[in-house]
A and B are shown apart, each in its own frame.
Chain A
Amino acid sequence: DTGVSQDPRHKITKRGQNVTFRCDPISEHNRLYWYRQTLGQGPEFLTYFQNEAQLEKSRLLSDRFSAERPKGSFSTLEIQRTEQGDSAMYLCASSFTSQGQYFGPGTRLTVT
């Protein structure tokens, strides 16, 4: 399967814990995006990488969120000191230059 993959698919954590999600994009794609989606809403942009450079970050993203794409391949999204409001589906998408984005299956986070 050469699509976008995400790990884990589900994560349950207690409030205050740190969590890290991984995204492996389609191999030739140089652009990588992270989104958050809650029930009944469309994906909300979090951050964007072109190769290893983080070029855009949502103003809505608190300092508890950080993302990396160290070698321009896979990416990680970390949430520190999780809060119940962080419960959502976290989606990763990749694209090549000016083409449309292809999404992964998402990581569903539940903060208890």
Chain B
Amino acid sequence: QKEVEQDPGPLSVPEGAIVSLNCTYSNSAFQYFMWYRQYSRKGPELLMYTYSSGNKEDGRFTAQVDKSSKYISLFIRDSQPSDSATYLCAMSGHNFNKFYFGSGTKLNVKP
């Protein structure tokens, strides 16, 4: 079993839709949770960074962490064609020595 599971998609939505992206994990020691956006043949770009459980909002993006269910989510409001990319979740324990990534969900926002 992989440490982090993420549906690979692809997920196709119309412009303006609310997008929900999710990851599950198995290691209860994970405390730090991140979401990255990656365009084709580019390095991942940090979008959201959260600690422990709860919600965090930044513009059109909201990250949620439910440690009791070992489940994290990223919501994108008013999605735009420029949001079309692969979204990666990542997580780490308290010492940041190692980060575990999901395999990524490919999102396509249609104009």
Contacts and interface: CB of A to CB of B under 8 A. Distances in A.
B72 interface: no
A91 B46 contact: no
Interface residues of B, number: 25
Interface string B49-91: 1010000000000000000000000000000000000001010
B75 to A, nearest CB: 18
21 contacts: A4-B43, A33-B99, A40-B8, A42-B88, A42-B103, A42-B104, A44-B101, A45-B101, A89-B41, A91-B43, A95-B96, A98-B32, A99-B49, A100-B49, A101-B99, A103-B36, A103-B43, A104-B43, A105-B42, A105-B43, A106-B43
Interface of A: 4, 31, 33, 35, 40-45, 48, 55-56, 58, 89, 91, 95, 97-106, 108
